[in-house]
Amino acid sequence: MLGNSDVSKAHWCIVTDDGGPGWPMGSAADRSPVQYCRLGGASTPFQRALQRAASIAPASQIMLTALEEYRELWEPSAWLVRPHRRFIGDNRWASQLCSAAAILSVASRSPSSVVTVLPARCYVVDEWILARGIRYALSELQGVPEGVVTLGMLDMEDGVDENYLVVGQPRFGRGLSADGFARRPVAWVARHLKSHGALVASGIMIGYAGVFAAHISKNWPGISNTLAKLSHAAEIAGEECDIPSSLNRESAKSALRALRWHPPSFRQRVIGVCRSGWSGLNSPQSVARITDFLSCESKPGRGFPPEYSSYNSSTKDHLLSGPDNYLSALARPDFT
């Protein structure tokens, strides 16, 4: 999916799997987290996230964060991730700690290394477009003063049950400025935000390990050293890095909640990606929409549901294009 030069730029890739919500799929008794469900496709969202990671980083530099309680669901697909690259938490509170430990382990080697963070709970229709967006973000990173970019999605369908990034034109540097964050606004607010240029927050981040590590240390000064020691010990032993629940008690839960990876808490730039067919799978309704569209794969339009019926191969030519009022800076002739 990406060229060799892009693999060298990516350096490290972290697939973050916090377990997430379990939606009843098929029967009321089945409440496995949605990223472990096939949703009618050949692969689960978790498996596709690992495939994305393998396309942009060497297998030796792919990391995984996961929860012990779902081991039987993620372990069979995680064979390509080496044991000492796995950061395992024993409860939901530990999921953020696992991600922090993975990032700190990279930063301890080289703060200038580039880290790509891929959430496991998501779905994208056109992997080609997403891959191109990641490749573009990697190429733009050197021109981003904040040292971190995130992908913002612009699709034809109203982004119900999605998080939104409020974006603007920066005074200098590449990408769009990230001016605010809206967590799953109601439908009419989502439409209003979208009409004013907001993009759906993907949770995909690409940045320098040192920038991520500085944010972690600022918010969790007492825990950062402990996490770094745990990851170092796991690597020496060649074993999984277990994040004990006792770490959660070393800091108040209010402090743990303070670690946010979106603006304004965490400064970053936004790269827009158009018409990839993105869903964050944040609700049973969004899961149902994806399941319905997958059942239509044999129909015209490359399997897209009716609202995506205008998709075709020419869509790839419009990546990072969009309404001139807010995405004109990204519609560049050198990226066609």
Question: CATH homologous superfamily of domain 4-330?
Answer: Spore Coat Polysaccharide Biosynthesis Protein SpsA; Chain A (3.90.550.10)
* Residues of the chain under the 70 pLDDT cut: 1-10, 19-30, 156-159, 248-258, 297-336
Q: Taking Cα atoms as reference points, which of 234, 232, 233, 213 lies closest to residue 224?
A: 213
Task: Mention every residue, 6+ apart, whose C-beta is less than 8 A from residue 33.
Answer: 19, 20, 21, 22, 70, 73, 121
Would you tell me the crossing angle of helices 127-140 and 45-56 to the nearest 10 degrees?
Answer: 40
pLDDT of 321:
35
pLDDT of 286:
83
Q: What is the Cα–Cα distance from 101 to 98, expressed in whole angstroms? A: 5
3-state secondary structure of 10: helix
3-state secondary structure of 109: helix
pLDDT of 251:
57
Question: In this predicted model, what pLDDT tens digit does every residue of 15-47 receive, in sequence order?
Answer: 998 766 655 454 444 578 999 998 877 899 999
The domain limits of the chain are 4-330
pTM of the complete model:
0.84
